[in-house]
Amino acid sequence: MAKVRAATVWMAGCAGCHMSFLDLDEWLFEFAKHVDVVYTPIADVKEYPEDVDVALVEGAVATDEQVHLIRDVRRKTKALIAFGDCAVTSNVPAMRNPFGGAEVVLKRSYEDPANLNPQTPREEGILPVLLDRVRPIHEVVPVDIFLPGCPPPAARIQAALEQLLSGEPIKLEGRDLIKFG
Amino acid sequence: MSQRIVIDPVTRLEGHAKISIYLDDSGQVSDARFHVTEFRGFEKFCEGRPLGEMAGITARVCGICPVSHLIASSKAGDAILGVPVPPAAAKLRRLMNLGQIVQSHALSFFHLSSPDLLLGMESDPASRNVFGVMAAEPELARAGIRLRQFGQKIIELLGGQKVHPAWTVPGGVREPLTEEGRQWIIDRLPEERATAIGTLEKFKGLLDRYAAEAQVFGNFQSLFMGLVGPNDEWEHYDGKLRFCDSRGNIVADGLDPARYRDFIGEAVENWSYLKFPYYKSLGYPEGIYRVGPLARLNIAERMGSPLADAELDEFKQRGNGAVTSSFMYHYARLVEIVASIERIEQLVDDPDITSPRVRAAAGINYLRGVGVSEAPRGTLFHDYEVDENGLITRMNLLIATGHNNLAMNRTVAQIAKHYIQGPKIPEGILNRIEAGTRLFDPCLSCSTHAVGKMPLRVRLYGSDGSLLDEAVRD
């Protein structure tokens, strides 16, 4: 049987979901028997490859670059999993939304008189431009599976991956598998 | 406009970054920049929210070192309540912080950097990652995974979950350590002690092979900053701030962390979302300083536990007063794992450690509080101002990786200057440059609070915008 081609992607989040993935600990050896991880921030692949079977996407969509990235991921991926609460609801990164756009929030951090050279960093072509409204993934591209949690505990990630590897459609039911927070 | 090479994205870091390398007209490297490309805005969106929420929200700055934020946030809260926390609570917070240092350093060494060190800087990029190490060195990878698990499990035993436990609070912690939890830690300690010592010995054996890298991987003069204990010993939770120079001379000592603004300034550059802290007396950018494992070992006279004390003495012999090569961050990190395991051994035998008295109650007594902790990557400050009702009116977070921003940029430039001569991009160099940033284990997730088999494509443009060279790594 051919190995499953899997990816993990990190957008506007804290890496906690990726840490929870690594909390699979020694089960990762079992996982690696059946799965090729073809793209992940913890490896050196720079561009998202074609023909990915499943992608775990952590984080909300907060910059123009992330909009491009998630569209690219969607185009090349069979099953897209919104991985964790930031991906599912936009959660903490979206807490800046009520303040009325990116500029207000940037000003507070960078144009503080206490700083040397107070200015908002915006080198074109290098720094991504912040969206005025942070969005959950499903507002930008269709999502196949929602895996909530802040972060989803390792046991929940394992349950979802085991279902996936068995070739059955993923069905997450019950508090242990769908609780937010 | 000089020529520029861009590496995008930089991988195997905990965050979002790009690197630019600038060449002058003769094709020599003139400068390099490490761009942090993410921003979330915690300092703004926490305004108006209650103090009690801050630990839970600021933990979400970072999933790798949430415990550092939980502790710094709770200590800022302690200062606003104006109460000393019960002795057991301080010890339990220390225990959780030590668990975090173990798990985070294990992640940095085994999961993120060991692919370079064990498989080689120029090995196949498709397998130069933790899965490659699992295939090539399964025993070592398993030991590393279990070491990280040990640290994560301590966090879970105390706080109920491994990432973002809602456990530390202003005034102490929510729950004591159970006897079962204490026993689990005791049972697992011998294995992890052996792994920590074995890994350190293995790394020392690799040092000769990487002698050339150690010379140019961020080897320069700078100040070093961190917390030290009352007897000049390694400290991770409390204590006073010390600055040393690259000869190990103390430049400033006994500094109150709450007065950090008196001696640390922050500069903004147009090309990074990460601010640039500097030591005020020397100005910007001359006031460059480093934090984290290398700095903590350089400023401490002893580790405070037998094995780690001996390791510190040996470590210090590799410098002249201070160890200045950033390559030695790896070494320092492994010494800190040994020290943390020894301190965990001491704490689980402390009679206070299962005491039920773990929380002091009080209202809002002061309108400002600063909390500090040594995160795995360096000194972390949480500075809160509140109104009479305990709602946040102003917040400033000064993050461990931020302190190293100037040093990371200097490291990238130093490596680029050493390996790139002329307008051609040599093979294998790009990963060396990335490996230079990995030394600092930059947690860009934190820093931006304010915030397979694929080619790496790097393009080098001339000053007229023409494409001079392109390197594609398959």
Residue A125 CA to residue B320 CA, distance in Å, equals 43
Q: Evaluate whether B205 touches B198 at the Cβ level (below 8 Å).
A: no
E strands present in B388-443: 392-398
Helices (H), B280-328: 293-299, 306-316
**CB pairs A-B closer than 8 Å:** 207
In the predicted model, what is the mean pLDDT of chain B? Answer: 90
> How much is the pLDDT for B456?
35
Q: What's the whole-number mean pLDDT along residues B431-438?
A: 84
Picking from B57, B125, B268, the nearest residue to A119 by CB comes out as: B268
> Binning pLDDT at 50, 70 and 90, where does residue B454 land?
very low
Residue B333 CA to residue B327 CA, distance in Å, equals 11
CB contact under 8 A, A22 and B453: no
> How much is the pLDDT for B460?
55
Residues 6+ apart with CB under 8 A from B368: B79, B80, B383, B384, B385, B386
> Binning pLDDT at 50, 70 and 90, where does residue B462 land?
low
Amino acid type, B261: R
Instruction: Report residue B304 as tokens.
Output: 């405070």
Buried b / exposed e along B334-352 (16+ C-beta atoms within 10 A): bbbbbbbbbbbeebbeeeb
Give the sign of the dihedral formed by CA B462, CA B467, CA B468, CA B470.
positive
Q: Nearest C-alpha of chain B: how many angstroms from A124?
A: 9
Residues of A in contact with B8 (CB under 8 A): 46
In the sheet with B378-386, reading across from the earlier edge strand, the strands are B368-375, B378-386, B392-398
Judging by beta carbons within 10 Å of its beta carbon (0-12, 13-18, 19+), is residue A109 exposed, middle or buried? buried
Q: What's the whole-number mean pLDDT along residues B124-153?
A: 94
Q: Evaluate whether A176 touches A155 at the Cβ level (below 8 Å).
A: yes
Per the model's pLDDT, the better-predicted residue between B28 and A143 turns out to be A143
Residues of B in contact with A176 (CB under 8 A): none
How do residues B312-345 score in pLDDT, each as one tens digit?
Answer: 999 999 999 999 999 999 999 999 999 999 999 9
Picking from B35, B37, B267, the nearest residue to A115 by CB comes out as: B267
Judging by beta carbons within 10 Å of its beta carbon (0-12, 13-18, 19+), is residue A125 exposed, middle or buried? exposed
With CA atoms as reference, the chain A residue closest to B36 would be A127
Picking from A26, A127, A153, the nearest residue to B273 by CB comes out as: A127
In the sheet with B250-255, reading across from the earlier edge strand, the strands are B250-255, B240-244, B223-228, B289-290
Instruction: Using a pLDDT cut of 90, give the percent of chain A over it.
Output: 85
CB contact under 8 A, A43 and B12: yes
Q: Nearest C-alpha of chain A: how many angstroms from B159?
A: 14
Q: What's the whole-number mean pLDDT along residues B399-427?
A: 86
Q: What's the whole-number mean pLDDT along residues B334-361?
A: 97
Residue B333 to residues B28, B328, B356, Cα–Cα distance (Å): 34, 8, 33
CB contact under 8 A, B455 and A46: yes
Q: Which helix (H) or strand (E) holds A65?
A: helix A64-76
pLDDT exceeds 60 at position B359: yes
pLDDT exceeds 60 at position B446: no
Q: What's the whole-number mean pLDDT along residues B440-448?
A: 63
Residue A8 CA to residue A25 CA, distance in Å, equals 16
Give the sign of the dihedral formed by CA B276, CA B277, CA B280, CA B286.
negative
Residues 6+ apart with CB under 8 A from B167: B70, B96, B158, B159, B160, B173, B174, B175
E strands present in chain A: 4-10, 35-39, 52-58, 61-63, 77-83, 130-135, 145-147
Out of B153-162, B437-446, B464-473, least confident range: B464-473
What does DSSP assign to residue A46? Answer: -
> How much is the pLDDT for B459?
53
> How much is the pLDDT for B17?
80
> How much is the pLDDT for B98?
98
3-state secondary structure of B334: helix
How do residues B272-308 score in pLDDT, each as one tens digit?
Answer: 989 999 999 999 999 999 999 999 999 999 999 999 9
Q: Nearest C-alpha of chain A: how many angstroms from B295?
A: 24
> Binning pLDDT at 50, 70 and 90, where does residue B457 land?
very low
With CA atoms as reference, the chain B residue closest to A50 would be B454
